[in-house]
Amino acid sequence: MKSLRFNAYHKPIFKLSLLSIMLIQAQYAVANEPNTQTAVMPTIKIEAMSELDPIKSYIDYDQASVTRNGLKKKDIPQTIDTIDVQKYKIYGANDLSVMLQGTPGVSTSYDMRGDGINLRGFNADTGDIYRDGIRESGQVRRSTANIERIEILKGPSSVLYGRSSGGGVINMVSKFANFDSKSSVGIYTGSYDNYGTTVDLNQVVTDNLALRLTGEYGESDSFRSGIENKIEMLSPSFTYKNDEGLTWTMQYTYDKLHRVPDRGPSFSALPLGTSIKTGFAQEGDYVNDVLQIARSDLNYEFAPNWNFHWAVSYREAEQNFDHFYLGGLCTTENTVIANAGSCKGHVGEISQIYYWQQTNNKTTSNTFDIRGEFDTGALKHNVLVGADWTYEQREPLLANQNKNGSAIYGYVNPLTGDRTSSRGTGDLSIRTHNYNQNEAYGLFVQDLISFNDYFKIMLGGRYDYFQSETTNRLKTSDALDYHRSIDGESFSPNVGFIWQPIASQSFYASYSKSFAPFGGRVGVNVVSANTDVDAFDAKPQYNEQYEVGVKSDWLDNRLNTQLSVYDIRKNNIRYQPDSVNRPEEWVVGGQHQSKGIEFSFIGRALDNLFVRGGYGYMDTEVTKDNKPQNVGKELNNTPRHTGNLFVRYLPTDKIYGEVGATYVGDAKIYPNGNLDRDPTNFDGFTRLDAAIGYSADPWNVTIAVNNLTNKEYWRSESMPGTPRNFLVRLNYQF
């Protein structure tokens, strides 16, 4: 049985700190009062709770699968956040970037192609997003209806996962067949013609076999004109277990997302009077994401406290699109907008960029590990030993011109909404057709050494070998730039010290390192066959982090808190001096630093009042650069302050009300993330959300309102926040 844990989010520093102290004091004040609550928080096995339970999203997990070692979070010398997806599904959120808004140390943006997530100042989209411990390679959107929870292991984590941008790892834990979960079917409807249905059928066939089927179908328009989405997802699974310690899960997921994309220009390019409801898609624009995953997950307890784990996964992701996007405002007829059409005759209009793409990403992953316990004299060891092998293939085809070489142009008047384009129906001229192969091998070991009940040390190390090959299929085999192959190796250590003077308090200090071969380009946007690879032959880009913190349980585990201070430095950074005119040229140089403080809590503030929240302060800057004028600059899209706070009140065990605030502070936004350019000041925002719910077995209904005050704001450089909207969900559970 796992004990309850708790978490909550708020906004400015002083207010959050004051509130946190008040909450803790309130806990002590009521600790010894007679318990007259209606909604009691007993010791509970969280995995057995219904996701519709009113208190589930305010309960944390003792363990996190992202750590791979089966240890309690308090024995991990790094910050770990766990976010229950259902908490955000009641508001209609599907994208990870929306769910993670306001999470301490996390900054998000709108990215039409990927997730748009930074962890502690560094981009996670390039290889730090996982599903069930398997890397989600390939830029693609997905449904989250079959995701149970989101785990974030913050800071460099290459010992466990290999290549990384260094800010942390995001792991999505799937819903799969088990012997505890209930079944449910549901419908939802809301603003902007948003409607859909979900199914989650978990069936225990025998004492040894369980089956599960999760699925979703939904359609929605947008507050932005001409924008729409359609999602289809189906995920069957089975789990077999026996009395000999064997548990085997097989799962297949089909996930398709069709979109008329919403990828307008930067807000800085729009003239005064432009409505945030103006969409910029042209007729015929589309993005199709198709994701298929097949995985096998085997666990075998072959001896007391010894476990063998073997996971195999095949993942295929396709992202095909044909659309106009971004661009700039034609202020005069002589205005020049990079990669866009002429402004002659189009003054006052947005001249858009055009691209067509077909991309197929295939990833085969094979990982196994053995974990167990043993003693050497007075020392107790919790050891993890494992190996990974990953093979990735990526084949993008890109075009932005007609077959005859003529350019394709699109224009939108941001004030009237009028638009024109020169896109026809004929063949296009393929400008890029690369075939990329990446292979990586990793061996790792990690040991938690307990000297006694109070003092522990965690030691870990990993060796990686990686190879990347690129073939330019637009060239002949005798061309100098037809084929390139580059390889390398890296060692990643970590060490942590844990002091637990009493069972409820765990103090820690840690050092960890991560690496990113070839400037982090492998597996996402690897070196093209015509690239000068000298820069990529240099020492891998790597991050180093120092972190200290404390993880605490209060009042018999009714309140749990995390407090951490960190310093991350990114070295050997690759960048393109002129990505537009000289995309083949890369150089090595520079160091980026991110340091900050994070605090989070989750639990019961009063007898029937539940809270979860957190606050993060992050200070980022360029500390070294080949260009002296860049030193001291703030990193792209890294707000100093982030936080959120959600409060849920249960007057009875069937009815609840919730109100939440999400805060994102001011930030600097650089065009295309290029620090050589002048930044745009991005104003932060505070958004209020609220919901009420009624849960009486077998029915559950929620009514949620996003952006309660109808605040007008921008959630990223090119995407405004959604105005006030509502969502109603009705579920039947059995």
- Tens of pLDDT along 370-386? 999 999 999 999 999 99
Pairing of strands 168-174, 129-131: parallel
CB-based burial, 94-108: b 16+ in 10 Å, e otherwise: bbbbbbbbbbbbbbb
Q: Which residues contact 457 (CB under 8 A, 6 or more apart)?
A: 448, 449, 451, 495, 496, 497, 498
Nearest one of 172, 251, 258, 257 to 214, comparing CA atoms: 251
Contact call for residues 456 and 500 (beta carbons, < 8 A): yes
Q: Mapping DSSP to helix (H, G, I), strand (E, B) and coil, where does residue 29 land?
A: helix
- Tens of pLDDT along 188-233? 999 999 999 999 999 999 999 999 999 999 999 999 999 999 999 9
Q: Which residues contact 581 (CB under 8 A, 6 or more apart)?
A: none
Residues making up the chain, counted from first to last: 734
pLDDT for res 355: 93
pTM for this predicted structure: 0.89
Contact call for residues 119 and 167 (beta carbons, < 8 A): yes
Rounded to the nearest integer, the mean pLDDT of the chain is 87
Of 241 and 55, the one with more pLDDT: 241
Confidence label for 302 from pLDDT (cuts 50, 70 and 90)? very high
pLDDT (average), residues 504-529: 75
- Lowest-pLDDT choice from 81-85, 264-268, 396-400, 484-488: 484-488
Whether 20 shows a pLDDT value over 80: the answer reads: no
| Helical ranges in 139-250 per DSSP H | 158-161
DSSP string, 509-530: EEEEEEEEGGGGTTTTSPPPTT
pLDDT for res 57: 86
pLDDT for res 6: 33
Alpha-carbon distance 283 to 419, whole Å? 9
pLDDT for res 313: 95
DSSP type of residue 57 = G
Q: Mapping DSSP to helix (H, G, I), strand (E, B) and coil, where does residue 609 land?
A: strand
What does the block give as tokens for 30?
Answer: 């009521």
Backbone angles phi, psi at 452, to 5 degrees: -160, -165
Alpha-carbon distance 114 to 126, whole Å? 9
pLDDT (average), residues 20-49: 38
- Tens of pLDDT along 567-579? 999 998 877 666 6
Give the burial class of 396: count Cβ atoms within 10 A of its Cβ; 0-12 exposed, 13-18 middle, 19 or more buried. Answer: middle
Q: Mapping DSSP to helix (H, G, I), strand (E, B) and coil, where does residue 189 land?
A: strand
pLDDT for res 32: 37
Alpha-carbon distance 438 to 151, whole Å? 26
Alpha-carbon distance 546 to 509, whole Å? 8
Give the burial class of 485: count Cβ atoms within 10 A of its Cβ; 0-12 exposed, 13-18 middle, 19 or more buried. Answer: exposed
Contact call for residues 220 and 236 (beta carbons, < 8 A): no
pLDDT for res 580: 61
Half-sphere exposure for 120 (CA within 13 Å, toward CB): 36
Whether 513 shows a pLDDT value over 90: the answer reads: yes
pLDDT for res 677: 84
pLDDT for res 564: 98
- Lowest-pLDDT choice from 140-144, 305-309, 688-692: 140-144
- Tens of pLDDT along 651-700? 998 999 999 999 999 999 988 778 888 898 999 999 999 999 998 889 99
Alpha-carbon distance 94 to 82, whole Å? 17
Contact call for residues 256 and 288 (beta carbons, < 8 A): yes
- Tens of pLDDT along 471-492? 889 988 888 778 888 888 899 9
Whether 9 shows a pLDDT value over 70: the answer reads: no
What percentage of the chain carries pLDDT values higher than 70? 89
Whether 36 shows a pLDDT value over 50: the answer reads: no
pLDDT for res 643: 96
Q: Which residues contact 190 (CB under 8 A, 6 or more apart)?
A: 92, 725, 726, 727, 728
